[in-house]
A and B are shown apart, each in its own frame.
Chain A
Amino acid sequence: MSLREALLTHNADLLPGRRDEDWRWTDLRGVLRPLPDMSTDLQGLTSRPDIEVLPGVIVRRHAAPVAGGVSDIELVVARGEVVLLLDAFEAGEGAYVRDAALPIRLEEGASLTRLVLAEDGADAVSVICSDVSLAAGATFHQTVIASGARRQRIETRVTHPGQGASVRLDGAYLLSGKRHADQTTRLDHTGPGGESRQLVRGVAADQSRGVFQGRIIVREGADGADARLTHNALMLSEKAEIDAKPELEIYADDVACAHGNTVGALDEEALFYACARGIPAPEARLMLIEAFIGEIVERIDEAVLQALARSFVATRLEALRG
């Protein structure tokens, strides 16, 4: 079951729906009938990103397809290389359907810091999936910031070999209107001594819906794995919805794994405190949200990517005003 297969074969029965455990909160069956026509410029693999190089940063701009489009671009970071990557998904018009597969391979000692800024149209269906494999001693740090779509799913599946490799998988979603955003991660610890850190934060206003699914697997023999995962969500309206499923699947005994998950409203006391100091309530609310999401931005360790993330978040915060 995948959107890609359904698009390529034009068979709506292959769409994932709420009966598929991994898609229970991101039902595509209900929203994609009939399936869109595929864009005809390239057979099979349609949209290609524009790749440019900012000083020190590789930028891949992914334009939205006109109707339906699939893309498939692999990135290999060679042995010992250090790369900063921005994947920018641009919103298009109307009810387009995007399916992007962006596999990444990191060779021994390679380092990749990746920022994904996902902007999609309010009527779009967008599925972005990255399979990431690391060799020993590689570093993969990722931050995904998403603003949702009719259905938006950003999935990252990492194979972590342990052996000195390091993984950070962060994410944030800022949702308004009727938007939906799904961040799904799967972190597979396959070798000894692996460390991973994950922090995902989201805010859902109006009638939006935030979904987070994070699975940590520690295979037999992946001893000494140290994996932490935290998801915090804020609900800003009575009609918003947050669904979360952090999972631990552990087959080794010498491990330290933990996950935390909280859902709640803005802290009334903090709000009162700010208001009592003369800050109007809407401003105070925005400040608190900015601080909440700001922690994700501050964890990005490359200044140029951090600045890009900050400006993306600022634009989305404006949409939450009011």
Chain B
Amino acid sequence: MADIDTIQTVEALAGDKYVHGFVTDIEQEFAAKGLNTDVIRFISAKKNEPDWMLQWRLDAYERWLVMDEPDWAKVSYPRIDYQDLYYYAAPKQKDGPKSLDEVDPELLDTYKKLGIPLREQEVLAGVQGAPRYAVDAVFDSVSVVTTFKAELAKVGVIFCPLSEAVRDYPDLVRQYLGSVVPVSDNYFACLNSAVFSEGSFVYVPPGVRCPMELSTYFRINALNTGQFERTLIIADKGSYVSYLEGCTAPMRDENQLHAAVVELIVLDDAEIKYSTVQNWYPGDADGKGGIYNFVTKRADCRGDRSKVSWTQVETGSAITWKYPSCVLRGADSMGEFYSIAITNGRQQADTGTKMIHLGAGSTSRIIAKGISAGRSSSTYRGLVSVHPKARGARNFTQCDSLLIGKTCAAHTVPYIEARNASAQLEHEATTTRLSEDQLFYVMQRGLSQEEAVQLLVNGFVKDVLQELPMEFAVEAQKLVAVSLEGSVG
């Protein structure tokens, strides 16, 4: 038995464990390499954008030119040459497919391999009553297909690529785009504002509970290409939507840049649940290759009693720089942040959240679990800030770090700023390694070391996993196991 275990473990390790690392061989068209106003005009023209959108991009580019790249995060990487990147890559196509049958079979095959259902009947073909979810599949700089649009439209929910929304719903886009993350918010958000290519747009009308999970699947395929997606979700009064985002990329020796912006707007009594399973290629064991994941995500709880819940499972990327935040503007608004960040090999993650309490009675809850293995480093960086008008604001924060091995590092940097005496803020953090006693206990009952570690790690992250929609929780749990393979012994 033990022998079989060993053989299986060795086999699992021998092949590269990143199963999404294949490249789709497909004819693609690119913008010219480098970044300048011509490239921005090219992207804008490719998307048939109105002039105001182009001006918005050019304005962002002007501002980006004079900004400095931030260096305060606990991550280190060689300087990025922004002129050595492609800012637009898209599978070549004639007039744009009318139906899925016209989409390049190579592309369909890619999503099949990734396990993403692009055909509505395929989703339905499962067990009776199985949960359905709508998908927007983004391949490099364009959206390939968005499923269930018609069915969603029946209840008034708009779910489409952002480029389509710019053309079809310009008023909504103009009103909300950049209203949560301003153009020059930070270096990477500003870059994104200039060159963003694709992303999802969601609008849920007042009082509507979105009938299914919405999801966007991001795939970077082309070489030397950055992905700059931009997602905008608006939950109007009394509505509810659950949204999931997944990401993968091929294994390449070069680093690739992913600088996304996600903006959520939540009005009175509305709720957005936003879940991320981030599995970008992390680079190999020596730190070669992998995605630089520099992302700005922010939710604006504008309405009273509005609620946002961020759940993230971060297992991929060579470097992660990401702080999904909540601006709790409305009275009694509520923000939640549940995070699992796993680093292995040479990965570096600096991630956390910001809870800005502006409204009276606003509450927030932060549960962050960091796991470091190999030679990796993982940092939790968070801010809880209570402004003078946020009477009765309440925050609870818990961050726990788990270290596996002698060469990894874990850091915790929580900032608390309280300017209201009726606020109540609590923060707890612990850093420990896997307990020898627990390992011994579990192994004594017949589990291999690898299985024992998995079991204990699953227990460690359970609080966060249970916040994910059910079908993704299972996937995430597997991902956690895969990410830590080979980290013990």
Interface residues of A (CB under 8 A from B): 21, 220, 223, 233, 235-265
Contacts and interface: CB of A to CB of B under 8 A. Distances in A.
Contacts of B417: 241-243
Contacts of B431: 248, 250, 255-258
A21 B406 CA distance: 29
Given A238-B420, A251-B409, A256 B432 contact: yes
A248 B406 contact: no
Given A250-B410, A253-B405, A242 B418 contact: yes
B412 A248 contact: yes
Given A245-B416, A247-B411, A255 B433 contact: yes
Nearest to B385: A243
Contacts of B407: 220
Given A236-B421, A242-B417, A258-B429, 7 more contacts: A247-B413, A255-B433, A256-B431, A260-B427, A261-B416, A261-B428, A265-B422
B265 interface: no
B421 A262 contact: no
B72 A250 contact: no
Contacts of A264: 423-425
A258 B428 contact: yes
Nearest to B407: A220
Q: Considering residues A237, A239, A240, A250, which has the most beta carbons from chain B within 10 angstroms of its beta carbon? A: A250
B424 to A, nearest CB: 4
Contacts of B410: 248, 250
18 contacts: A238-B421, A238-B422, A241-B419, A242-B416, A245-B413, A249-B409, A250-B431, A251-B409, A252-B403, A253-B405, A255-B431, A255-B432, A257-B430, A261-B425, A261-B428, A265-B421, A265-B423, A265-B424
Contacts of B419: 240-241
Interface of B: 72, 388, 401, 403-433
A254 B407 CA distance: 11
Contacts of B418: 233, 235, 241-243, 263
Contact of B433 (A244, A245, A253, A265): A253
A243 B401 CA distance: 23
A188 B425 CA distance: 27
Contacts of B415: 243-245
Given A250-B401, A253-B404, A261 B422 contact: no
A263 B428 contact: no
A250 B421 contact: no
A37 B251 CA distance: 62
Contact of B423 (A248, A257, A260, A263): A263
Contacts of A242: 416-418
B427 A261 contact: yes
Nearest to A213: B415
**Shortest Cβ-Cβ A-B pairs, 10 listed:** A235-B421, A253-B403, A261-B427, A248-B412, A264-B424, A253-B433, A257-B431, A263-B425, A263-B418, A244-B416
A257 B432 CA distance: 7
A247 B431 CA distance: 11
B361 to A, nearest CB: 15
B246 to A, nearest CB: 31
Given A255-B403, A261-B414, A263-B416, A246 B421 contact: no
A128 to B, nearest CB: 24
A250 B433 CA distance: 11
Given A245-B415, A249-B411, A259-B412, A220 B406 contact: yes
A32 B368 CA distance: 40
A223 B405 CA distance: 12
